[in-house]
Structure 1
Amino acid sequence: MRERQADRQRRRAQEFEDFVAGAAGRLLHTATLFTAEPAEPAGANLRALRLLTAALAHTYAEWDRLRGDDPYDRTRQELVIRFARDAWRHHRPRGGLLERLTPQERLVLVLRLYEGVAEEQAAALLGLPAERVRAICTRAVGTMYAPPEPPEHPGRPGRPVARLLRGAR
């Protein structure tokens, strides 16, 4: 009896390790896009790594109950849930590619365009109407195509740089 249970545990651990070996890179990239962290040379963005680790731990805890469900979809769903729950912490600009977007816009854009999740599926995952997901995605794409706002001069807000230079003489 113990041998059978030990064998089942080993098989479960091996299945999970195989899943992580195949999916962890893409899931880490997704988590990095969610958090809008800049790409690190070693690929280890701390916040994204924590988010992914928590999502994978949840997937492992439910591994036996998946019963035919796609573990990648379940882990991605857990990433979305964990990021959305803590989104208020992830709104500060970090210098990443998607830093100009709100957390909700990042979620929708990454799910729809990077992950290729259907509009209806993304809406169900986020608990939003499909029309709202479409509008958020359109707004996010518009924001990404729009030229970035010029940085304000640290002296006085709204004061043109040319006037500052003239006044410095």
Structure 2
Amino acid sequence: MDRYEGFREFLRARQMALMRTSYLLCGDAHQAEEMLQSVLVKVAGNWRGIARDNPEAYVRRALVNEHISWWRRQRRSLAFTGPPRSGRDPGDESVSRIVLWQALARLTPRQRAVLVLRFYEDLSVQEAADLLGCSAGTVKSQTSHALGRLRALAPELADLLHDTDTDTARQEAK
């Protein structure tokens, strides 16, 4: 039996989505590639045990952990260079997107991870909590703090930044 059975198929199917997640976590295309490659090398070595569970969730969690570890080692500010180029004219990028990228770069890695998992990956609060190894309440509070920080850093994006958990709670309280 091939110890990488299923790994190649998983990689073909999910590599681009995982690369986007990696990029959104760190904000730098080259670092995202290195981070994903590092995680995939580790995953490949343990594929048999990982494949039985939820391999994509495992890889996402490993990416978050790798990014936080990298950030702790570097202890320097990260500068987002913008989204990966897709062959389009750079002039097509909107000012709102640039402002959002710059504001995201100023969040803590944990806050950025929560926003990526909740709003980009569209995970539920509990799914994000499971991936981050924390409680659902921590995910909710980190989401609220991160969105509040984004509102303060980029007030011109206020229409885009709605904390659905807080909005829902407010509606239910009425």
TM-score by length of 2: 0.66
Show the counterpart of 2:59: 75
Instruction: Answer yes or no: is the 8 Å Cα contact 2:71–2:109 preserved in 1.
Output: yes
> What do the CA deviations read for 1:121-157 (whole angstroms, capped 9, x no partner)?
32233233322211111122233344549xxxxxxxx
Show the counterpart of 2:134: 128
Instruction: Answer yes or no: is the 8 Å Cα contact 2:22–2:33 preserved in 1.
Output: yes
Question: Matches of 1:64 and 1:26 in 2, distance apart?
Answer: 22
Identify which of 18, 43, 54 aligns with 1:27.
Answer: 18
Show the counterpart of 2:78: 93
Question: Matches of 1:90 and 1:137 in 2, distance apart?
Answer: 23
2:65 counterpart letter in structure 1 = I
Show the counterpart of 1:16: 7
Whether 1:58 aligns to 2:42 is: yes
Whether 1:141 aligns to 2:150 is: no
2:78 counterpart letter in structure 1 = P
Listed as ranges, the gaps of 5+ residues in structure 2 are: 83-100, 156-174
Give SS of 1:69's match: coil
Moved over 4 A (4+): none
Offset, 1:91: 5.2
Show the counterpart of 1:152: none
Identify which of 92, 99, 106 aligns with 2:112.
Answer: 106
Summarize the Cα distance change of 1:131–1:80 in structure 2 as closer, same or farther, 3 Å threshold: same
Offset, 1:67: 5.0
Question: Matches of 1:60 and 1:131 in 2, distance apart?
Answer: 33
Instruction: Answer yes or no: is the 8 Å Cα contact 1:58–1:78 preserved in 2.
Output: no
Question: Matches of 2:63 and 2:107 in 1, distance apart?
Answer: 18
Question: Matches of 2:76 and 2:151 in 1, distance apart?
Answer: 20
TM-score by length of 1: 0.68
Over the residues paired in the alignment, what is the CA RMSD in angstroms?
2.2
Identify which of 36, 51, 54 aligns with 2:27.
Answer: 36
Offset, 1:87: 2.4
More helix, by proportion: 2
Percent sequence identity over aligned pairs: 29
Listed as ranges, the gaps of 5+ residues in structure 1 are: 1-7, 38-44, 150-169
Summarize the Cα distance change of 1:63–1:93 in structure 2 as closer, same or farther, 3 Å threshold: closer
Summarize the Cα distance change of 1:80–1:90 in structure 2 as closer, same or farther, 3 Å threshold: farther
Summarize the Cα distance change of 1:103–1:91 in structure 2 as closer, same or farther, 3 Å threshold: farther
Question: Matches of 2:75 and 2:13 in 1, distance apart?
Answer: 27
Give SS of 1:94's match: coil
Instruction: Answer yes or no: is the 8 Å Cα contact 1:91–1:102 preserved in 2.
Output: no
Identify which of 25, 31, 34 aligns with 1:47.
Answer: 31
Question: Matches of 2:51 and 2:17 in 1, distance apart?
Answer: 23
Question: Matches of 1:77 and 1:145 in 2, distance apart?
Answer: 27
